[in-house]
């Protein structure tokens, strides 16, 4: 069985396999920078990576090998993990990685056996790696899912277990892409585990010199709790060029978003690993948005921050943390003075079931209070395990407004207001999508009600739009409610039977929950879409699930049922739009669609 997600741009036949080998086969070599002389290392192969040990005496080689798959991308192909000597000769095969045709990593699936080999920084030649204790299947009931092992040169025998975890070791531990982060002392390891169904995460500190000893718990929390986010470790490069955790004695530094009911206020903390003592070194001002870029000295006595406000563009400052003394490092002027006068504020409202919601309301230059404008609501749904996390405020009203690409914020130049990042929580954990439609409609209605209550919008002149899963949301909103005058769906998926082994955070298959897939598929309810819908899609979209045919078939359905719909296919574009011609045309389509079907719409009437 191979219950994998739907992927695109895959190998299709033996000719593709031959081309894959031809273009990706390489011969590693050491090159003398002074003379240009090259010395071959190892044999030609399809290498995923070739990483020297800190001592320079060994290489960690990861090669892609046959048989290839026509179902999954090359990152899931079989592999061979080996240690090579300094001359490139193989010393030991560490693992034969099987073909991975399982479920998505963000839902807890992993390749069976050993994975994620890397060198331990700070010591000459010691490997660290992970072993799945559940065969990589999160559905199995086991006391521990993963363990971390180390193996020192000369790489004989079995590895030494450093720690094992109840839940899955994070594929992106602390957001850095490693299951283990090593401190610059070469001794301290930070380990992150995560359980997707409950959203629980734990972080541990482990000392490599005492493998098997009980690790120190740094935190145990829900990742849905934005306000309680403890931050990510500040990283640096060591002398060998490896990424390590910045340490000052037994302390590490954590930079976090600083979520609060008033919005994000980023911070920098010092955390002592010996006694769990936490000291706040820096906290963004309440009237600005300031993020920590890096530490200017080992003890974080001086740090570099990036400061911006809703009216001032981002600039860098050197800050003395003891007294908040600041020295400006840059003086970048407003890169888009044409947007001067646009205002932004956080607005707060509630869903009919009491869940707090929020969004960022942008108003065009020259707006007069009480003036009712055409409005675009831009959103992207997100799943939550419980209501506590769903109602928390995210983002900051003090971010400087910059517009790039085919941004929906360009509508501000056309007399529209924009409710950006309108909260669209879908609550319920594993079964959240059982009530996806009801919750989605409730979110949309609450946003429109708030805009009307504030005197910003006419109830009959509010549009809805989004990209990818936001496009999916848009089509569903039009199918199941009459709160919006029109919609724009960019690069979306509308028929979930075409993604039968799961999508987004839905782990159940089509055959396990057919009624959920049916209800969530706007394609299945195209006859209910009685508002104008603009579909745009890149012709070569290779994002998982959002095949171009999704928009093509959605167009045929709505058009065939008598609805108002337009399909724009952008040549040579993938999931996002890059070419100048594509961006400008997408903006024109947005302006035209929103003008005709929202701005010029008469109450209780659709503009043809």
Q: Are 149 and 159 contacting, i.e. CB atoms less than 8 angstroms apart?
A: yes
Q: Tens digits of per-residue pLDDT, 135-164? A: 988 889 999 999 999 999 999 999 999 999
**How do strand 79-85 and strand 486-490 relate by DSSP bridges?**
unpaired
| Catalytic residue, candidates 283, 556, 575, 585 | 575
Q: Tens digits of per-residue pLDDT, 468-499? A: 999 999 999 999 999 999 999 999 999 999 99
| Catalytic residue, candidates 358, 468, 481, 551 | 468
Q: Which of 101-105, 198-202, 460-464 reaches the highest mean pLDDT?
A: 460-464
* Radius of gyration, alpha carbons of the chain: 26
* Chain centroid to CA 510: 25
Buried b (16+ CB within 10 A) or exposed e, 104-119: bbebbbbbbebbbbbb
Secondary structure in 3-state letters for 419-441? EEEECCEEECHHHHHHHHHHHHH
pLDDT score, position 607: 41
575 noted as active-site residue = yes
Distance CA(386)–CA(212), nearest Å, equals 35
* Chain centroid to CA 555: 29
In the predicted model, what is the mean pLDDT of residues 252-263? 96
Cβ contacts of 15 within 8 Å, gap of 6 or more: none
541 noted as active-site residue = yes
φ, ψ of residue 281 to 5 degrees: the values are: -100, -30
pLDDT score, position 445: 99
**How do strand 457-467 and strand 373-379 relate by DSSP bridges?**
parallel
Strands (E), 296-412: 302-308, 315-320, 325-328, 343-350, 356-363, 373-379, 382-384
CATH 3.40.50.1820 in the chain, residue ranges:
372-377+406-416+428-599
Q: What is the DSSP letter of 526?
A: G
pLDDT score, position 480: 99
Strands (E), 68-215: 79-85, 90-97, 114-119, 126-132, 146-152, 160-165, 168-169, 180-182, 188-195, 200-207
Using CA atoms of 247, 248, 252, 256 in order, give the dihedral in degrees to the nearest 10.
-100
pLDDT score, position 109: 82
φ, ψ of residue 451 to 5 degrees: the values are: -65, -40
Q: Are 411 and 376 contacting, i.e. CB atoms less than 8 angstroms apart?
A: yes
Range in 169-178, 181-190, 435-444, 501-510 with the lowest mean pLDDT: 169-178
468 noted as active-site residue = yes
Is the alpha carbon torsion for 359, 544, 476, 570 positive or negative?
A: positive
Residues paired with residue 203 on neighbouring β-strands, in sequence order: 192, 219
In the predicted model, what is the mean pLDDT of residues 68-88? 95
CA distances from 387 to 133, 225, 350, 395 (A): 32, 10, 12, 18
User: What rounded mean pLDDT belongs to the chain?
Assistant: 94
CATH (residue range 372-377+406-416+428-599): 3.40.50.1820
Q: Are 458 and 372 contacting, i.e. CB atoms less than 8 angstroms apart?
A: yes
Sheet hosting strand 90-97, strand order edge to edge: 25-26, 45-52, 58-64, 79-85, 90-97
pLDDT score, position 51: 96
Instruction: Say yes or no to pLDDT of 310 above 80.
Output: yes
Distance CA(564)–CA(605), nearest Å, equals 13
**How do strand 533-538 and strand 565-570 relate by DSSP bridges?**
parallel
In the predicted model, what is the mean pLDDT of residues 165-182? 74
In the predicted model, what is the mean pLDDT of residues 556-576? 98
* Chain centroid to CA 596: 34
Distance CA(224)–CA(391), nearest Å, equals 10
pLDDT score, position 352: 97
Instruction: Say yes or no to pLDDT of 359 above 90.
Output: yes
In the predicted model, what is the mean pLDDT of residues 290-313? 94
CA distances from 279 to 253, 272, 292 (A): 9, 9, 15
Cβ contacts of 31 within 8 Å, gap of 6 or more: 37, 38, 39
| Catalytic residue, candidates 246, 251, 541, 551 | 541
Distance CA(163)–CA(212), nearest Å, equals 6
Range in 388-402, 468-482, 586-600 with the lowest mean pLDDT: 388-402
Instruction: Say yes or no to pLDDT of 232 above 60.
Output: yes
N-terminal to C-terminal alpha carbon distance within the chain: 50
**Higher model confidence: residue 340 or residue 212?**
340
pLDDT score, position 438: 98
φ, ψ of residue 462 to 5 degrees: the values are: -125, 125
Helix (H, G, I), strand (E, B) or coil at 260: coil
Instruction: Say yes or no to pLDDT of 38 above 90.
Output: yes
* Chain centroid to CA 599: 33
In the predicted model, what is the mean pLDDT of residues 399-405? 94
As a whole-number percent, the residues of the chain with pLDDT over 70 amount to 97
């Amino acid at each position: 069985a191979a219950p994998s997600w739907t992927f695109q741009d895959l190998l299709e036949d033996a000719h593709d396999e031959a081309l894959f080998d031809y273009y990706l086969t390489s011969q590693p070599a050491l090159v003398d920078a002074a003379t240009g002389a090259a010395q071959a290392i190892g044999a030609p192969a399809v290498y995923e990576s070739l990483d020297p040990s800190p001592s320079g005496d060994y290489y960690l080689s990861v090669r892609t090998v046959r048989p290839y798959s026509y179902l999954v991308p090359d990152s899931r192909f079989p592999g061979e993990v080996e240690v090579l000597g300094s001359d490139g000769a193989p010393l030991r095969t560490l693992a034969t990685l099987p073909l991975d045709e399982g479920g998505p990593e963000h839902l807890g699936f992993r390749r069976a056996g050993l994975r994620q080999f890397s060198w331990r920084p700070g010591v000459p030649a010691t490997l660290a790696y992970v072993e799945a204790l559940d065969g990589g299947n999160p559905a199995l009931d086991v006391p521990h899912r993963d363990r971390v092992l180390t193996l020192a040169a000369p790489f004989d025998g079995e590895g030494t277990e450093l720690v094992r975890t109840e839940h899955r070791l994070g594929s992106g531990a602390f957001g850095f892409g490693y299951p283990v982060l090593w401190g610059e002392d070469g001794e301290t390891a930070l380990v992150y585990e995560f359980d997707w169904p409950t959203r629980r995460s734990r972080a541990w500190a482990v000392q490599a010199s005492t493998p098997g000893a009980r690790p120190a718990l740094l935190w145990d929390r829900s990742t849905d709790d934005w306000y309680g986010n403890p931050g990510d470790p500040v990283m640096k490069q060591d002398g060998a060029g490896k990424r390590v955790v910045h340490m000052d004695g037994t302390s590490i530094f954590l930079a976090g978003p600083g979520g609060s009911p008033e919005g994000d206020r980023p911070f920098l903390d010092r955390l002592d690993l010996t006694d769990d003592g936490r000291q706040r070194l820096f906290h963004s001002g309440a009237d600005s948005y300031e993020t920590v870029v890096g530490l200017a000295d080992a003890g974080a006595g001086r740090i570099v921050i990036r400061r911006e406000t809703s009216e001032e563009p981002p600039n860098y400052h050197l800050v003395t943390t003891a007294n908040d003394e600041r020295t400006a490092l840059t003086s970048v002027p407003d890169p888009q003075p044409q947007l001067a006068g646009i205002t932004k504020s956080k607005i707060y409202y509630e869903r009919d079931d009491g869940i707090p919601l929020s969004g960022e309301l942008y108003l065009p230059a020259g707006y007069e209070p009480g003036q009712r404008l055409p409005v675009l609501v831009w959103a992207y749904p997100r799943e939550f395990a419980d209501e506590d996390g769903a109602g928390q405020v995210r983002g900051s009203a003090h971010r400087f407004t910059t517009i790039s690409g085919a941004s929906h914020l360009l509508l501000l130049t056309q007399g529209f207001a924009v409710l950006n990042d309108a909260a669209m929580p879908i609550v319920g954990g594993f079964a959240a999508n059982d009530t996806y439609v009801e919750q989605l409609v409730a979110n949309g209605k609450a946003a429109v009600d708030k805009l009307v209550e504030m005197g910003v919008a006419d109830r009959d002149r509010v549009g809805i739009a989004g990209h990818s899963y936001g496009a999916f949301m848009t089509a569903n909103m039009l199918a199941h409610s009459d709160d919006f005058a029109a919609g724009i769906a960019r690069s979306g998926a509308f028929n979930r039977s075409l993604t039968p082994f799961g999508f987004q955070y839905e782990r159940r298959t089509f055959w396990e929950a057919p009624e959920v897939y049916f209800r969530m598929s706007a394609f299945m309810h195209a006859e209910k879409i009685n508002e104008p819908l603009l579909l745009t899609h890149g012709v070569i979209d290779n994002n998982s699930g959002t095949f171009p045919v999704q928009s093509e078939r959605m167009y045929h359905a709505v058009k065939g049922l008598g609805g108002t719909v337009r399909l724009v296919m952008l040549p040579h574009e993938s999931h996002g739009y890059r070419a100048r011609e594509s961006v400008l045309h997408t903006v024109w389509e947005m302006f035209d669609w929103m003008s005709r079907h929202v701005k010029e719409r008469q109450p209780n009437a659709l503009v043809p």
